[in-house]
Amino acid sequence: MSPEAIFRTHLVFGYVAWLLCFAAYIWPRLRSMDHVEAHRAIATLHSFRFFGLVFILPGYVGPHLPTGFASFAAYWDFATGILAMLALLAVRIRPLFWLLVAAFNVVGIIDLVVDYAQAVSIDLPSIAGELGAAYVIPVIYVPLLMITHVTAFYLLFRQLRATRLVARGASA
């Protein structure tokens, strides 16, 4: 099997495995939690995104990993992690908490979408070995990050819709 096929297989199965795990264990728990606690759990996971800085750590990734890809992935992951940590710290100040929850999810999903677009444009599967030890990030960690961002947006929009319905009922 070619390195490109192995990378693509790892990426696809990373999503499959996380979706199965998410459906069986994580989603039922998040769905049953208070909305603040559910978002705190998601923020806690994303607070570890400072780890993305390894993409620019000399010797950790190969020297031929395109700099533009590595820098964007590293710094946007870092920004997402900082925003997630700030959300966790601001949980008692609800308006600030919700602003930071929205911010880390927007920044985080932009990071992942742009990373995927750049990976396609540089044909990352053909140079996947240049990821070095960071190889596990896109195939193991990123699928869970994307799934939880989508989940966070779903929960935010569901909460917004419920709030609007309550507001309409109160004004009727």
User: Any bridge partners for residue 58, and if so which?
Assistant: 61
Residue burial 36-50, b: 16+ Cβ < 10 Å; e: rest: eebbbebbeebbebb
Q: What integer pLDDT is reported at residue 164 of this predicted model?
A: 77
Domain range for 150 is 3-171
User: What is the per-residue pLDDT across 106-149, written as a single tens digit (0 to 9) for each?
Assistant: 999 999 999 999 999 999 999 999 999 999 999 999 999 999 99
Directed axis angle between helix 142-171 and helix 35-46, to 10°?
160
Q: For the chain, how many structural domains are there in total?
A: 1
User: Rounded to 5 degrees, what are φ and ψ at 61?
Assistant: -115, 160
Average pLDDT over residues 156-160: 91
pTM of the model: 0.92
Question: pLDDT tens, 65-95?
Answer: 998 899 999 999 999 999 999 999 999 999 9
